Amino acid sequence: MTSTQHTTTRGTVLVVNSGSSSIKYQLVDPVGGEAIASGLVERIGEDVGTIKHTYAGSTTQRDEPIADHGAGLRLVLGLFDEIGPELASAHIVAVGHRVVHGGSDFAGPALVDDDVVRRIDALSPLAPLHNPPNLTGIQVARELLPDVPHVVVFDTAFFHTLPDAAATYAIDQGVATAYGVRRYGFHGTSHQFVSGEVARFLGRRVEDLNQIVLHLGNGASASAVRGGVAVETSMGLTPLEGLVMGTRSGDLDPAVLIHLQRNAGMSVDEIDDLLNRRSGLKGLAGENDFREIHRLVEEGDASARRALDVYIHRLRKYVGAYLAVLGRVDVITFTAGVGENDDIVRALALAGLEPLGIAVDAERNAGRKKQPVVISPDWTPTKVLVLPTNEELAIARQAVATIEAAGLEGTSEETDPAPAAAGHA
Ligand code: ADP
């Protein structure tokens, strides 16, 4: 089952993304793709928390203490009943949970049971900031919505197919195996969704396309997808590897860590904070939002200019590497906050590649894109696209596919077999 598979199962999916002090949620119609309601609980466990619930075009905000995730989710369910849509009539067929790390274990979505919970917990050392809060969200949701199947969708699953040569770090394999040190990849739900939707949009079979997907948000990653199967991606053991991001460094010589520990007396936690939260665009220019970076560049700010240059240089290096990995590239797609909105980044990322059959048409590229659109000129063999990602819809579709496969959905009808992406998830 895949995120691009279309189902006629009637009903909605509540998609939950639980962080350390937040819960993001969306009630999704997996068939039409519509977000019926959405919201965000923030500052859980602090003196005053906030909950924002959006339904039918208006947002309701409440500020009050929210002791823990259980209290947060109870408030969310209360707001559904108070403001709408009433959950009793929303016909929730599944709750879909985003989980960051599925390790080597999970090659696709899974129906939650006690064993799955235990296995996600066991993967916590690989994602200590993400898996434990994801799990808390799953546990409170199971308690509060016990009659609905819960499905976990992993950020790593799409990259389960990475060839061994791409997944392996060249270190002592005894150490690597003992500590699970290999490349897992992240943002997989988005890369899978986008590569599948690209094929639909172009009216092509995903099996026939070689694609590069550039997911450029605050976190950023690139992937090479051959015939719907991921063969390379820029993130590794954690989401720190690869591209320059909003606040993360991306690639650097691993000896930088050793150097800082030995010579700057920095602790492991300080280096973690430096590389994950004080690096990337933020570390280079003091701002992690590209709108600010461009504004500063226009004002002649040298640090912002450098940040843009470093960001683009790294991105182009990955595009070049993936051209070599794939041999032939049919489509390059930009997605996520920067990819969908920033025409300057898109133009610079692929500038001067005409000899390789890659170009961006200035007029087609101009502006923010809310719909899939081709931005390359007609003559290029490689098409360049912008295609908005939708991780919540992808999770909702995978959740429905999972409960259908388990025979849990009574209202399920025929499924549309059209474009199937990777057959593993
Ligand atoms: P996340 O990784 O948090 O999901 P998003 O995919 O929402 O991030 O991307 C957020 C980033 O998108 C912002 O930090 C900003 O750099 C960029 N962005 C959003 N809107 C615009 C815009 N209109 N122009 C340029 N960049 C934008």
Residues 224 and 233 sit within 8 Å (Cβ to Cβ): yes
Residues 37 and 116 sit within 8 Å (Cβ to Cβ): no
For the segment 140-160, the average pLDDT, to the nearest whole number, is 97
Does any domain span residue 196?
Answer: no
Two tokens, residue 110:
């899974």
Which DSSP state fits 225?
E
218 Cβ closer than 6 Å to some ligand 1 atom: yes
Does any domain span residue 415?
Answer: no
How many CA atoms within 13 Å lie on the side-chain side of 58?
Answer: 5
Does any domain span residue 200?
Answer: no
Q: What's the pLDDT score for residue 4?
A: 42
Q: Which atom of ligand 1 is nearest the CA belonging to 281?
A: 16
Shared-domain flag, residues 343 and 399: no
**What is the total count of domains within the chain?**
2
Q: What's the pLDDT score for residue 9?
A: 61
**127 C-alpha to ligand 1 centroid (Å):** 24
Shared-domain flag, residues 143 and 211: no
Does any domain span residue 71?
Answer: yes
341 Cβ closer than 6 Å to some ligand 1 atom: yes
b/e code 368-405 from CB counts within 10 Å (16+ = b): ebeebbbbbeeebebbbbbbbbbbbbbbbbbbbbbbbe
3-state secondary structure of 214: strand
Shared-domain flag, residues 37 and 66: yes
Shared-domain flag, residues 128 and 248: no
289 Cβ closer than 6 Å to some ligand 1 atom: yes
Q: Where are the alpha helices (DSSP H) in 126-217?
A: 131-144, 164-167, 173-179, 188-202
217 Cβ closer than 6 Å to some ligand 1 atom: yes
Helix (H) or strand (E) holding 99: strand 92-99
Rounded CA separation 375/362 (Å): 8
The dihedral built from the CA positions of residue 346, 349, 353 and 358, taken in this order, carries a sign that is negative
Q: What's the pLDDT score for residue 416?
A: 40
Q: How many CB atoms lie within 10 A of CB 136?
A: 20
Contacts of 146 (CB under 8 A, 6+ apart): none
For the segment 80-96, the average pLDDT, to the nearest whole number, is 94
**302 C-alpha to ligand 1 centroid (Å):** 22
The dihedral built from the CA positions of residue 166, 171, 174 and 175, taken in this order, carries a sign that is negative
For the segment 51-63, the average pLDDT, to the nearest whole number, is 96
Task: For 375-423, write each residue's pLDDT tens digit.
Answer: 999 999 999 999 999 999 999 999 999 999 999 874 434 334 333 333 3
Shared-domain flag, residues 146 and 247: no
CATH number of the domain residue 80 falls in: 3.30.420.40
Shared-domain flag, residues 251 and 236: yes
Output 284-292 pairs: Cβ under 8 A, ≥24 positions apart: 284/244, 284/310, 288/218, 288/246, 288/247, 289/246, 290/338, 290/341, 290/342, 290/345
Task: Quote the mean pLDDT of the chain.
Answer: 93
Task: For 104-128, write each residue's pLDDT tens digit.
Answer: 999 999 999 999 999 999 999 999 9
Does any domain span residue 416?
Answer: no
Shared-domain flag, residues 137 and 232: no
Residues 375 and 367 sit within 8 Å (Cβ to Cβ): no
Q: Which atom of ligand 1 is nearest the CA belonging to 288?
A: 14
Residues 92 and 14 sit within 8 Å (Cβ to Cβ): yes
Q: Which residues pair with 212 in a beta bridge?
A: 224, 332
| Rg (alpha carbons) of the chain, rounded to whole number | 21
pLDDT > 90: percent of the chain = 92
Does 361 carry a binding-site annotation?
no
Does 337 carry a binding-site annotation?
yes
Does 219 carry a binding-site annotation?
yes
Nearest alpha carbon to residue 205 among 387, 373, 423, 419:
419
Dmax (CA) for the chain in angstroms is 64
Does any domain span residue 411?
Answer: no
Q: Where are the alpha helices (DSSP H) in 60-187?
A: 69-83, 87-90, 114-122, 131-144, 164-167, 173-179
**18 C-alpha to ligand 1 centroid (Å):** 20
What's the pLDDT band for 129 if we cut at 50, 70, 90?
confident
Rounded CA separation 385/373 (Å): 6
Does 339 carry a binding-site annotation?
yes
Nearest residue (CA) to ligand 1, atom 25: 342
Does any domain span residue 173?
Answer: no
What's the pLDDT band for 88 if we cut at 50, 70, 90?
confident
291 Cβ closer than 6 Å to some ligand 1 atom: yes
> Is residue 415 packed enough to be buried (19+ CB in 10 Å), middle (13-18) or exposed (0-12)?
middle
Contacts of 82 (CB under 8 A, 6+ apart): none
Nearest residue (CA) to ligand 1, atom 7: 337
Helix (H) or strand (E) holding 232: strand 229-233
Distance between the two ends of the chain, CA-based, in angstroms? 6
Q: Which atom of ligand 1 is nearest the CA belonging to 389?
A: 6
Does any domain span residue 395?
Answer: yes
Q: What's the pLDDT score for residue 296?
A: 98
342 Cβ closer than 6 Å to some ligand 1 atom: yes
Q: Which atom of ligand 1 is nearest the CA belonging to 218?
A: 2
Shared-domain flag, residues 144 and 245: no
Does 338 carry a binding-site annotation?
yes
Q: Which residues are catalytic?
A: 155
Rounded CA separation 286/209 (Å): 39
Domain that holds residue 334: 206-386
Two tokens, residue 327:
């041999």
Shared-domain flag, residues 143 and 290: no
Shared-domain flag, residues 218 and 351: yes
24 Cβ closer than 6 Å to some ligand 1 atom: no
DSSP 280-334: HHHHHHS---HHHHHHHHHTT-HHHHHHHHHHHHHHHHHHHHHHHHHSS-SEEEE
**351 C-alpha to ligand 1 centroid (Å):** 21
Rounded CA separation 119/107 (Å): 13
Q: What's the pLDDT score for residue 419?
A: 35
pLDDT exceeds 90 at position 204: yes
Residues 131 and 101 sit within 8 Å (Cβ to Cβ): yes
Does 289 carry a binding-site annotation?
yes
pLDDT exceeds 70 at position 65: yes
Q: Ligand 1, residues 218, 248, 292, 392: which to mutate, most atoms within 8 A of Cβ?
A: 218
Nearest residue (CA) to ligand 1, atom 3: 218
Two tokens, residue 325:
């990995």
337 Cβ closer than 6 Å to some ligand 1 atom: yes
Q: What's the pLDDT score for residue 408?
A: 87
pLDDT exceeds 80 at position 254: yes
Shared-domain flag, residues 230 and 114: no
Nearest residue (CA) to ligand 1, atom 4: 217
Task: For 306-343, write each residue's pLDDT tens digit.
Answer: 999 999 999 999 999 999 999 999 999 999 999 999 99
Does 39 carry a binding-site annotation?
no
Rounded CA separation 329/7 (Å): 30
Q: Which atom of ligand 1 is nearest the CA belonging to 246?
A: 14
Q: Which residues pair with 25 in a beta bridge?
A: 16, 39
Shared-domain flag, residues 154 and 217: no
25 Cβ closer than 6 Å to some ligand 1 atom: no
